[in-house]
Amino acid sequence: MEPNMVNLKINDIPVTVPEGTTVLEAARSAGFKIPSLCFLKDINEIGSCRICVVEVKGARSLMASCVYPVSEGMEVYTNTPKVRHSRQLSLELILSNHRMDCLTCARNAHCELRDLAADFNIDAVRYANDLMVPQIESSALHLVRDNSKCILCRRCTAACRKYQSVGVIGPNDRGFMTHIGCAFDRDLAESDCVSCGQCLVACPTGALSEQDSIPEVMEALHDPNKHVVIGPAPSVRVTLGECFGMPVGANVEGKMVSALHRLGFDKVFDVDTAADFTIMEEGTEFLERLQNGGALPMITSCSPGWIRFCEQHYPEFIPSLSSCKSPQQMFGALVKSYYAEKAGIDPKDIYVVSVMPCTAKKYEVKREEQRMANGCMPVDASLTTRELARMITQAGMMFDHLPDGEFDPMLGISTGASVIFGATGGVMEAALRTVAAKLMGDDNAPLEFHEVRGIKDIKEATYELPGRTVRVCVASGLANAKIVLDGIKSGELSYDFIEFMACPGGCVNGGGQPLQPSMVRSFTDLRTLRAQALYKQDEGMAHRRSHESPVVKEVYESYLGEPGGHKAHELLHCTYVPQTRYRT
């Protein structure tokens, strides 16, 4: 049914929009930008910051446009003296309770509050509190919170509650004492936080930032006794460019590789290569369970945020988890075993760095369950996409001027199947490509599985494979994972294979990805644009199934043996364990 349309005027310009549209959205459709701080579409529409107020003819007071619906014949004014004065006063009051060390703030050039101050020409704050001190909480392995920079917009708490159904942070106390924190002001490390970082990318200021791993990486790079190897995740190549002003979805793989070489890394390999090994192991594991009565549904284990959520909230599903390490951890394991042996380097002298779209990877690299038989942890440090961008900037590189480079080949050749890991449904499709080919033959098996593509919260599909109907499910965002798991527990849902990603839309929308202001996050389909770039790269790859990779073939033949075999299991698999839930 077509929606009822509403006619109104915004700044005397006739506008027609669907019934239920907010004034903020209607103004945007007419080419008028209304500033906002607390607004995040579909997640945090509470009208609390009062920056988005507008004047509505006939109304007694100014209205918060992000929550005020349009009506027939409405006349709205977005830039009157009364509106400008109110917005400026509100902003000054917000700044009065904000520690302003902008020059040294981690958020610096990506702060929505700073940008608004510039837009409103605020060159001094009449009510500034010059005595504010940092209020740092840095107990978690992935995140630092500084409440002296928090503006109480509640975007972080909304993301934690609505996207992830975790809800470990919220407003404590009342009035002037209100602050964001965990229940009873416990440290974040003592909560059920899954380290996903969705709160961080939702935050408009420097109140939240990732734990900075750059200093330790730089120390390793300058240590003559360390052989430093780096590998970027699949999605990083289609998001890194945003940090340098390039269009959303620009694939900058070549420039990224050149930058990594110029930063001084001894080898620049590709985590995509490890993703191909993930498919070989995971596909073999799924076929084994399917044919020999193993625990079904089998659930993917690539997302450490999802893994931690499962271990804390749904430990009964741990037997269903694939025992495969994530591509990041397989990458490190292969570098410190296969590559170390081939290069004649002691694994203890190799320092492995990953570049991830994910803050939970900082937690994953510290998990003792990941330790290798030789005593090494697979990965020593995990950088976010943002941290890599800062390293490139600090090194004085003009990123957009860099030539295209190539990965070092030993662990730098991958397939299209590994490229699409960064999008929700990508792991499932990559696995299905190899599983179907194993059962049907490469020439008879389908190459693309469009049913599991796209950013729909929960996707289902059924495939007829020789001797078996396979039911699959893909869900991203932990709130959606919860829906699926509860449905399985109640008997309403039944699947053979499930892909879960902690972040909505998958890794392309991870907590370690480039920061975008709310007006971009709310009205630009970041997930789709970034994912489309991955699928486009997949289409142009020489090999599009993981088992076709020449690196995969060589490593199994000369080093690992059979997929799922003893040596492969020793290096590329691990165990997952129930985690303590902190009941608050």
Taking only the tens place, the pLDDT of each residue in 351-405 is 999 999 999 999 999 999 999 999 999 999 999 999 999 999 999 999 999 999 9
Q: What is the pLDDT of residue 3?
A: 84
pLDDT of residue 109 exceeding 90:
no
Angstrom distances, CA of residue 532 to CA of 429, 453, 457, 469, 539: 15, 10, 17, 29, 11
- Three-state SS for 229? strand
Residues whose CB falls within 8 Å of the CB of residue 408, separated by 6 or more in sequence, listed in order: 267, 268, 269
pLDDT of residue 149 exceeding 60:
yes
End-to-end Cα distance, the chain: 45
Q: What is the pLDDT of residue 473?
A: 98
Q: What is the mean pLDDT of residues 413-442?
A: 97
Strands laid side by side in the 5-10 sheet: 13-18, 5-10, 75-77, 53-56, 63-64
Closest by CA position to 466, among listed 438, 494, 497: 438
Q: Identify the weakest region by mean pLDDT among 100-109, 343-352, 516-525, 530-539.
A: 100-109
Q: What is the pLDDT of residue 122?
A: 87
Q: List the catalytic residues.
A: 282, 285, 302, 322, 361, 364, 369, 507
- 581 confidence band (pLDDT: 50, 70, 90): low
Question: CA 164 to CA 496: how far, in whole Å?
Answer: 24
pLDDT of residue 131 exceeding 70:
yes
Q: What is the pLDDT of residue 200?
A: 97
Q: What is the pLDDT of residue 584?
A: 41
- 420 confidence band (pLDDT: 50, 70, 90): very high
The answer to whether residues 374 and 334 touch, using CB atoms and an 8 Å cutoff, is no
**Tokens 């003592």 belong to residue:** 190
pLDDT more than 90, % of the chain: 93
**Tokens 């005593």 belong to residue:** 375
Residue 187 dihedral angles phi and psi, to the nearest 5°: -65, 150
pLDDT of residue 198 exceeding 50:
yes
Q: What is the pLDDT of residue 132?
A: 86
Write down all domains in the chain, each with its CATH number in brackets: 5-93 (3.10.20.740), 96-211 (3.30.70.20), 216-572 (3.40.50.1780)
In tens, the pLDDT along 33-70 reads: 999 999 999 999 999 999 999 999 999 999 999 999 99
- 130 confidence band (pLDDT: 50, 70, 90): confident
Mean per-residue pLDDT of the chain: 96
Residues whose CB falls within 8 Å of the CB of residue 475, separated by 6 or more in sequence, listed in order: 457, 458, 459, 481, 483, 484, 498, 499, 500, 501
pLDDT of residue 192 exceeding 90:
yes
Q: What is the pTM of this model?
A: 0.96
- Residue 27 zone, left/alpha/beta (φ > 0; ψ -120 to 50; rest): alpha
- What the block records as the tokens of 247 is 């269009």
Question: CA 210 to CA 217: how far, in whole Å?
Answer: 15
- What the block records as the tokens of 206 is 């420097």
pLDDT of residue 583 exceeding 70:
no
In tens, the pLDDT along 436-485 reads: 999 999 999 999 999 999 999 999 999 999 988 999 999 999 999 999 99
Residues whose CB falls within 8 Å of the CB of residue 148, separated by 6 or more in sequence, listed in order: 98, 99, 132, 133, 134, 135
Q: What is the pLDDT of residue 582?
A: 56
Q: What is the pLDDT of residue 269?
A: 98
